[in-house]
Structure 1
Amino acid sequence: MSELSAPTGREPALVAEPRSDGSAPRVLVLGGTGYIGGRLVPRLLAAGYRVRVLARTPARLASFEWGDQVEVVEGSADDPDTVLDACLDVDVLYYLIHSMGGGKDFEERDLEAAGVVAGAAAAASVGRIVYLGGLHPSGVELSPHLRSRVEVGETFLDGEVPALVLQAGVVIGSGSASFEMIRHLTDVLPYMPAPRWVRNRIQPIAVRDVLHYLLAAARVDPDVNRAVDIGGPDVLRYGQMMNGYAVEAGLPQRPIAALPVFTPGLASHWVNVVTPVPRSIARPLIASLQNECVMDDHDVDDLLPRPEGGLTPYREAVALALGRIDADTIETSWQDAEISGVPSDPLPSDPEWTGRTVFTDVRSVTSSASPERLWKVIVGIGGENGWYSSPFLWAVRGWMDRLVGGVGLQRGRRSRGRVTAGDAIDFWRVEAIEEGHLLRLRAEMKVPGLAWLELRASPDGDGSRYDQRAVFFPKGLTGRLYWLAVLPFHGFIFTGMANRITAAAAAEDED
């Protein structure tokens, strides 16, 4: 496993305390493939815990370096039987899941899942629940998403298992949705028309400090059952956060005009256009900024030790995040979060297509490049490298997707040179990867049907052969009409894509 940045989990205050029989304690992580969970799990392992992960898609864990070091239970948090099995012989349960843009009934579903987990934890005699909630003011009306986090925390606090609810505000770290929103708004706009909430005070926290508190929470006194606020050392206005980022990024200070006409809905549309963060994720983030989110107290200091060296200042957190981006070493990213409402079923095998309407576009090109060089080009596709065909047509398709609430092309990819199953690449998701041979992408753009794109590299004499296949299962008449509408563009897009990928591989081989 790669060397971990701070906290590593090996700090004296964070190392696991053995059970009374001398064995290592076991933790269960719900949300282990998410932005925070994907960083917490390797540090729990380093701290000496036995780790169990509940995952709806166990294959997703294979994309993490630690995937083969944890016990996996397949299932979801709203399945009582599965959750009960996952909770057996567990000392600490981490609940790191919540809905982001998950439909009108997300509050109801969040509460239902929390109730299932609280009940199962009690039945299995789990020692403690640790929940990462949201920092919020008291005595005011909260946004639905922030209110949901509060209600989930209260569900655990009212349960039979002692719970520690850590309430965090804006999390600053490479790959976090909050940081990416700040980064892209500041990078793109020399002048920022903004909602009035840019004047609200916020207490951001570095992702490394969130991880520190989560790790420390596993060792808190067993009788603690309460919620505590956590935050960094700086209290800033959102506009100050943007200009603090500008300083660290070497950009001029951005004039910001607070306008009264920006509702959360309009602001989320604005963020959807200007940044890679889609509207479904931007809206709950923006809605949570309607109120000032500052720590009411510092009771956490009485329960948990502070990080070695103290809490991370905002600008230092920004500098660390930018360093990760420059070095292409982002551990986890909002980009790889599952998008609600998009298809998740894998591509059926060819024999299962019998009797179904399926449209395909198949291209094959031989190349003088070695299979290894061709594969390197294939796995680098998308993001900054583009799609090796008409940039204009791809851009149009991306903007069409954004306009109807999709993720579009701006989502990019987490790493410029590495790709694993479950990664997001623009409006595709990596469904399968066979190293050196096959990359299969599942479409997450808004289309009336199910779509996949397969790219293959194979030896062919002294060179290689590139095989490309687009597969589309239309949904009703709309799906059929959609395929016919885009069919004329396939000649430009897919033919150009195949020819330029092989040409790029050959050119690199000549170098």
Structure 2
Amino acid sequence: MDVLVTGASGFIGSHLCPALEQAGHRVRAMTRHPDSYTGAGEPMAGDVSELASLRAPMDGVDAAYYLVHSLDSAEFEEKDAQAARAFGIAASEAGVRRIIYLGGLGAENQQLSAHLRSRRAVESLLGEAGVPVTVLRAAVVIGHGGISWEITRQLVDHLPAMVAPRWVSTRTQPIALDDVIRYLVAVLGAPESAGQVYEIGGPEVLRYLDMLQRVAWIKHGRRLPVLPVPLLTPRLSSAWLALVTDVNLATARTLVDSMTTEVIVRENPIQRLVPGPTIGYDDAVRQALAARAAAAGQDPVGAGGPLPRSG
């Protein structure tokens, strides 16, 4: 198939483009800076916020992946809505047969954060112009370069002890980057996935604190001391997160708001469509650390095996 990938130079897109080529598809890699693009696929100039710029990249493609969002903007909900509408209109005008979107987990009956509400709104806005949308909903994606993973890694690296706001007890279902890419490629070859929503996750449900502890053990062979501060407000928590990691304050506030929402897989029809085991959290962490070391020309880092049980 002829496939368009938005956000081709981003965390997910930069891994999806080569995987699609390896699966035999012809890939157009959409980016705002095609002259400097060095990844897989044919670079195409385009910006999801500008409808006119989408017409050339969309022309003649069978399917389009939508992998962009505006985490670092205070007006991200409005920006994401406008971009999703424009993308859906351009896809419809070009005769694209399907849009594939990576969204966020969260039960319909939950009070979702602004970030997760925006992700959910994008699902419907992409299809307003009539193009069927396949949605994959994920929580934290574990892989080198992912924002949520980088926060976890940097907290472990930078803090001798973990100040524990309430969100560290929230349950989530992390998924390895390799599994996300496997699912994104597989649904393209499954026509029955058009118009469907799939929840995807790894094999374990963990608290954010569990994730931090296991990274500390795998990377440094130590436990991370925890200092409970249950009254730490979201505003202070996000400012603290921006201080001890390289995530900017707007992104930190958006992510902290989402970290108070439990995001786990409630239904798993993706396993019927794309069978096979998923990668466990510890192995996903080791893969992410190895990829980071390789990118820096260093030896893989890792000190601990499975985290021993306390007591």
TM-score (norm 1): 0.56
Q: Deviations over 1:116-161 (max 9, x none)?
A: 1111211222121100111113222222122111100122344411
Which range moved further: 275-284 or 140-149?
A: 275-284
Are 2:53 and 1:71 equivalent residues in the alignment?
Answer: no
Instruction: Say if 1:77 and 1:117, in contact at 8 Å, map to a contact too.
Output: yes
Name the CA distance, whole Å, in 1 between partners of 2:173 and 2:73: 26
AA aligned opposite 1:40: L
Would you say the 8 A contact 1:33–1:60 is kept in 2?
A: no
1:223 Cα deviation from its structure 2 partner: 6.3
1:254 has 2:254 as partner: no
How many Å separate the matches in 1 of 2:297 and 2:290?
Answer: 15
Alpha-carbon distance between aligned partners in 1 of 2:133 and 2:58, rounded to the nearest angstrom: 15
**Alpha-carbon offset, residue 32 of structure 1:** 0.6
Gaps of 5+ in 2: 299-311
Q: Higher helix fraction: Structure 1 or Structure 2?
A: 2
RMSD over aligned CA atoms reads 1.8
Distance in 2, matches of 1:226 and 1:155, equals 15
- Aligned-partner Cα distance in 1 for 2:18–2:251: 26
Deviations 1:87-111 (A, max 9, x none): 12111100000001213x2211211
Q: Which residue in 1 is equivalent to 2:25?
A: 49
Using the alignment, how far apart are the partners of 2:200 and 2:81 within structure 1?
Answer: 23
- Counterpart among 151, 162, 178 of residue 208 in structure 1: 178
Matches within 5 A, 1:374-453: 415=296
Counterpart of 1:189 in structure 2: which amino acid? L
Could you say which structure has the larger radius of gyration?
1
Pair 295,277 (structure 1): closer, same or farther in 2 beyond 3 Å: same
Match of 1:125 among 72, 95, 106: 95
Match in the other structure for 1:311: 278
- Residue 224 (structure 1) shift: 2.8
Q: 2:2 is matched by which residue type in structure 1?
A: R
Paired with 1:275 and 1:54, the residues of 2 have a C-alpha distance of: 29
Question: Is the 1:40–1:211 contact (alpha carbons within 8 Å) kept by the matching residues of 2?
Answer: yes
Residue from 260, 263, 282 that aligns with 2:233: 263
Q: Does 1:164 align with 2:100?
A: no
Indicate yes or no: 2:88 matched with 1:112: no
**Which residue identity is paired with 2:210?**
Q
Comparing 270-279 and 208-217, the one that deviates more: 270-279
Q: 1:60 maps to what in 2? A: 36
- Opposite residue 24 of structure 2, the aligned amino acid is G
Find the counterpart in structure 1 of residue 151 from structure 2.
181
Alpha-carbon separation, structure 2, partners of 1:126 and 1:312 = 33
Matched residues, number: 298
Tell me the SS of whatever aligns to 2:5.
Answer: strand
Give 2:139's aligned amino acid.
Answer: G
CA–CA distance in 2 between the matches of 1:140 and 1:416?
A: 44
User: How far apart are residue 304 of structure 1 and its match?
Assistant: 2.7
Percent identity of the aligned residues?
39
- Which runs of no fewer than 5 residues in structure 1 stay unpaired? 1-24, 330-414, 418-511
Q: Given the alignment of the two structures, is residue 300 of structure 1 paired with residue 270 of structure 2, yes or no?
A: yes
Determine the C-alpha separation between the residues in 1 that align with 2:158 and 2:52.
49
> Taking structure 2 as the reference length, what is the TM-score of the superposition?
0.90
More strand, by proportion: 1
- Which amino acid letter does the alignment assign opposite residue 73 of structure 1? M
Q: Are the aligned partners of 1:157 and 1:163 in contact in 2 as well (CA < 8 Å)?
A: yes
State the Cα distance separating 1:252 from its structure 2 match. 1.6
